[in-house]
Structure 1
Amino acid sequence: MTAPIGLSTASLYPSDAATAFSAAARLGYDAVEVMVWTDPVTQEAGALRALSELHGIPIVSVHAPTLLLTQRVWGNDPWGKVDRSIELAQEVGASTVVLHPPFRWQREYAAGFVDGVATREDETGIRLAVENMFPWRTARRDVLAYLPHWDPVEQPFDHVTLDLSHTATAGSDALEMARQLGSRLTHVHLADGTGSFKDEHLVPGRGDQPCGAVLQLVADAGFDGAVVVEVGTRKVGPDQRELDLAEALAFARLHLAPELGVGRL
């Protein structure tokens, strides 16, 4: 069996969750990842379950509102955001909550982040998959924006999300990160990038990241997580958006075939 391929509701931003579920079902995605943001449906378990049942498509993961864009969603307490995301995941049947590492100004939150993640995983059985990020860059210097670090490889997290747009922005070796993470790699955000200072979230295959090789690696390793398409379509019209999301799904299906043998985690 190959990993389920999900569609992030963020891929249809600024359209609402209902639009994302409809697109996922129409295009043949296996599941949906819900990005919690200002759309009230993304915050309400009953509404999400209704969409899931209507379209016959499960919710595989919840992305906690830990982005700059969602700093005011569910209040200002970062652990409160995480806990509500866990509760939402439990209520909609998702096994994973994706979250970003703390911003450097969230020093109290950062100081207890590693232990807090481990404790919540142990108490709830929900995977808290901490996502790789990137240094914030200006023309003159890089800024460490996250604590303990933007790169989770050397951090003691049991579950990690590998985002292939973020590896491009960071200048990281995505394939080597996947190998080093081994079984701790439990969630993939499938996108692409060219190494721009901007977090591009291109359709896979349109940048310079080894998207296909990473998918082949996890497929050969018997990966038991999910691959979630998280691409930016905000600047294209509805017809092109449909084509982009279909292309991303086809790319994922092709490269998750566990037969090409690039290595093992």
Structure 2
Amino acid sequence: MSIPVGLSTSCLFPRGVADTFSTAADLGYDGVEVMVTHLLDSREVARLQRLSARHNQPILAIHAPTLFWTQQVWGSPWQKMERSAQLAAELGAASVVAHPPFRWQKQYASEFVEGVRALEARHGVEVCVENMYPWRVRGREVEMYLPHWDPIPHAYDHITWDFSHAALAHVNSLEAFRELGPRLRHIHVTDGFAGGTADSHLLPGDGDQPVAEALEFAASSGFSGIAVVEVGTRKATAAGEREEWLARSLEFTRRHLGQS
């Protein structure tokens, strides 16, 4: 079965969710991952259903509002997770992407593994915990996540892997894919440079992560999850440049998944 390649709504930020659906359709993506934010059309079932139907783009995944800058969306940590799982189920999305708890969310963190499994059972979706990275302040690492930014050693059944985050954490993604095995269920296709200071979300192939090799390994080892392009395009200035970057990212992903 061909691995679906989706487009994240974060790629078109700060433009609206509707632009992501139309761009994904124009460029030939297989669907959309919706990141829940303060925008109404990122979290209302009826609006998302209309966009999906209008552009013939299925909603492949919901990204829960568990980022630092979405702390005000949908209330408490468990409310965010519950509503994200419910939204995914109502929209027919296979998975929910979630960041690990922040270090100040100690009660939430202590219940996280069991709570995620309960959500999956209740709503019939996979909650894929994403790899993060240590924050660096004045040259020193600061641990911002509990139990850790690296999901590999922890008892998560389903994991999202982000190449840009791996670059910041100085982690080799190909080795991570080998270690994760069937727990790898969701891939954020992007890139970055080791030693960088910002989560750059470069186009795949523009950094020093082994993105091509990791995708090829995933395809050859029976990966049956979802790959989603999640790259930054805010620096695009020329007409059509953003669309060119997203088309290039789609071609790169499909080629290294053995689909072209």
Q: Distance in 2 between matches of 1:66 and 1:189?
A: 16
Which amino acid in 2 is paired with 1:197? T
Secondary structure of the corresponding residue to residue 134 of structure 1: coil
Matches within 5 A, 1:51-70: 51-70=51-70
| 1:240 alignment partner in structure 2 | 241
Could you tell me how far 1:123 is from its partner in structure 2?
2.3
Secondary structure of the corresponding residue to residue 188 of structure 1: strand
Q: Distance in 2 between matches of 1:140 and 1:252?
A: 34
| 1:189 alignment partner in structure 2 | 188
Secondary structure of the corresponding residue to residue 148 of structure 2: coil
Which amino acid in 2 is paired with 1:143? V
| 2:258 alignment partner in structure 1 | 257
Which amino acid in 1 is paired with 2:4? P
| 1:174 alignment partner in structure 2 | 173
The reply on whether 1:161 has 2:160 as its aligned counterpart is: yes
| 1:133 alignment partner in structure 2 | 132
Secondary structure of the corresponding residue to residue 240 of structure 2: helix
Secondary structure of the corresponding residue to residue 33 of structure 1: strand
Q: Distance in 2 between matches of 1:35 and 1:121?
A: 19
**Could you give the per-residue CA deviations for residues 212-242 of structure 1, whole angstroms, max 9, x where no partner exists?**
0111011011211100000001121352111
Could you tell me how far 1:140 is from its partner in structure 2?
2.7
Q: Distance in 2 between matches of 1:56 and 1:69?
A: 30
Which amino acid in 2 is paired with 1:255? H
Say whether the 8 Å CA contact 2:86–2:123 is kept in structure 1: no
| 1:114 alignment partner in structure 2 | 113
Say whether the 8 Å CA contact 1:190–1:227 is kept in structure 2: yes
- Identity within the alignment, %: 51
Which amino acid in 2 is paired with 1:10? S
Could you tell me how far 1:126 is from its partner in structure 2?
0.7
Task: Give the TM-score, by structure 2 length.
Answer: 0.97
Could you tell me how far 1:179 is from its partner in structure 2?
0.7
Q: Distance in 1 between matches of 2:259 and 2:53?
A: 30
Which amino acid in 2 is paired with 1:179? R
Matches within 5 A, 1:83-102: 83-102=82-101
The reply on whether 1:144 has 2:146 as its aligned counterpart is: no
Matches within 5 A, 1:220-239: 220-237=220-237, 238-239=239-240
Q: Distance in 1 between matches of 2:91 and 2:169?
A: 33
**Could you give the per-residue CA deviations for residues 147-194 of structure 1, whole angstroms, max 9, x where no partner exists?**
011000001111000000100011111111111110000000000001
Secondary structure of the corresponding residue to residue 51 of structure 1: helix
Count matched residues.
258
Structure 2: gaps (5+ residues): none
Say whether the 8 Å CA contact 1:66–1:78 is kept in structure 2: yes
Say whether the 8 Å CA contact 1:216–1:258 is kept in structure 2: no
Could you tell me how far 1:108 is from its partner in structure 2?
0.9
Q: Distance in 1 between matches of 2:73 and 2:203?
A: 28
Could you tell me how far 1:258 is from its partner in structure 2?
7.3
Matches within 5 A, 1:38-53: 38-53=38-53
Secondary structure of the corresponding residue to residue 250 of structure 1: helix
Secondary structure of the corresponding residue to residue 217 of structure 1: helix
Which amino acid in 2 is paired with 1:51? L
**4+ aligned runs moved over 3 Å, structure 1:** none
Q: Is the deviation greater in 66-75 or in 16-25?
A: 66-75
Could you tell me how far 1:2 is from its partner in structure 2?
2.4
Q: Distance in 1 between matches of 2:139 and 2:253?
A: 37
| 1:263 alignment partner in structure 2 | none
Say whether the 8 Å CA contact 2:89–2:124 is kept in structure 1: no
Which amino acid in 1 is paired with 2:84? S
Task: Give the TM-score, by structure 1 length.
Answer: 0.95
Secondary structure of the corresponding residue to residue 165 of structure 1: helix
